[in-house]
Amino acid sequence: MLDVQKEWMDNQIRLRDEAGPKPTAFNTPFRVSDAGACIRKRTFSAHNAMESEEFSPQTYMAFEIGNAIHKSVQDALDCDGNGWYFEAEVPIDLTEVSKKVGHGIEEFGLSGHCDGIITQNGSGIQTIVEIKTVSGYAAKLAWPYPGKDEGPKREHVAQATLYALGIEADSILIVYVAKESDYRAGIKAGDMVEWHFGLHETNDYWNGQTPYDIAMDELRHFQYAARYYAKDQIAPAFVPNDHGELVLVHDRPEYQQKGAKPWNCAYCQYNTVCRSLSEDEVPVEMIERSKR
């Protein structure tokens, strides 16, 4: 009898293998979507390291659902608005941004595709749109309700603001879409919550930092990774905590380990190869690299 799940899984693997590593928008070593990732992972990606983990069916399905939701929201915005128009999947090169913002940040290759840009007719005011699909559990943590409003994740703010700096946009709009329900929390699949911030807007989130401040922190993290990349090294296992501070992780948890700390190590596609290395910097020759 035909095993549909196996056929589907085999096809997902085949499609991913055929596609190979996804190139950055402008063939830069670093991609904006790695904002918030550990410094080591950024150099793994920049050096085109071979992934050491196989994705589960749940991960592939999450990709499919996430991509479908993104396109659905983008399609809804791609129409004649009331005084605005929308562009989806816009490539943005941030290599020159360091020269604009200063702060001692050196130039390095960084680019990506933003989910969308809203431009106001007449004024030309632009807003970066960043769409994130979240699980029921993640939605429960993020959804505002009376007495609790924590705002979007720091790395999502960083990503959107970096894009904004790349095109000199005026603000960012972050949209969370629940892809599944959490009935105890009162969240249903398809629910959305939105945050609109000016780049220099001060609020109670992120210890009083503005989106611009967070983007500057992120640029410094990318610069740090770029220095190791330039020396043909894999960076130390520095993982940002919830406040954006880099912490050297000596004992990295296993892939998909329950209760892992830091949790993001357990979901990293380079987990096994990372744990086989010292937590300090190592030569790039110690890893296997994709030939694509």
The tens digit of pLDDT for each residue in 46-103 reads 999 999 998 888 889 999 999 999 999 999 998 767 789 999 999 999 998 877 776 7
Residue 209 — pLDDT band, cuts 50, 70, 90?
Answer: very high
Mean of the per-residue pLDDT values of the chain: 90
Token pair belonging to 111? 């680019």
pLDDT of 147 higher than 60: no
Confidence of residue 162 (pLDDT cuts 50, 70, 90): very high
What's the farthest any 2 CA atoms get from each other in the chain?
63
In this prediction, residues 135-141 reach a mean pLDDT of 77
pLDDT for residue 146 is more than 70 = no
pLDDT value for 18: 85
Instruction: Work out the number of other CB atoms within 10 angstroms of the CB of residue 44.
Output: 27
Q: What is the pLDDT of residue 157?
A: 96
Burial label for 27, CB within 10 Å (0-12, 13-18, 19+), is exposed
Residue 33: pLDDT above 60?
yes
Pairing of the two strands 110-120 and 30-31:
parallel
Q: What was the pLDDT predicted at 145?
A: 60
Contacts of residue 19, defined as CB under 8 A and 6 or more positions apart, other chains included, come to: none
For residue 148, what pLDDT is reported?
57
Give percent of the chain above pLDDT 70.
97
For the cut 80, the answer to whether the pLDDT of residue 14 exceeds it is yes
What is the structure's pLDDT at 107? Answer: 86
- 3-state SS string over 8-22? HHHHHHHHHHHHCCC
The pLDDT value recorded for residue 186 is 81
Q: How much is the average pLDDT of 170-180?
A: 94
Q: Please name the helix (run of DSSP H) or strand (run of DSSP E) that holds residue 86, with its range, or none.
A: strand 84-93
| CATH for the stretch 24-286 | 3.90.320.10
Determine the pLDDT at residue 161. 97
The full set of domain ranges for the chain reads 24-286
CA distance 112 to 159: 10
Least confident of 87-101, 105-119, 152-166, 264-278: 87-101
Nearest alpha carbon to residue 218 among 113, 97, 67: 97
Judged by average pLDDT, the poorest of 34-38, 259-263, 283-287 is: 259-263
Q: What is the pLDDT of residue 160?
A: 98
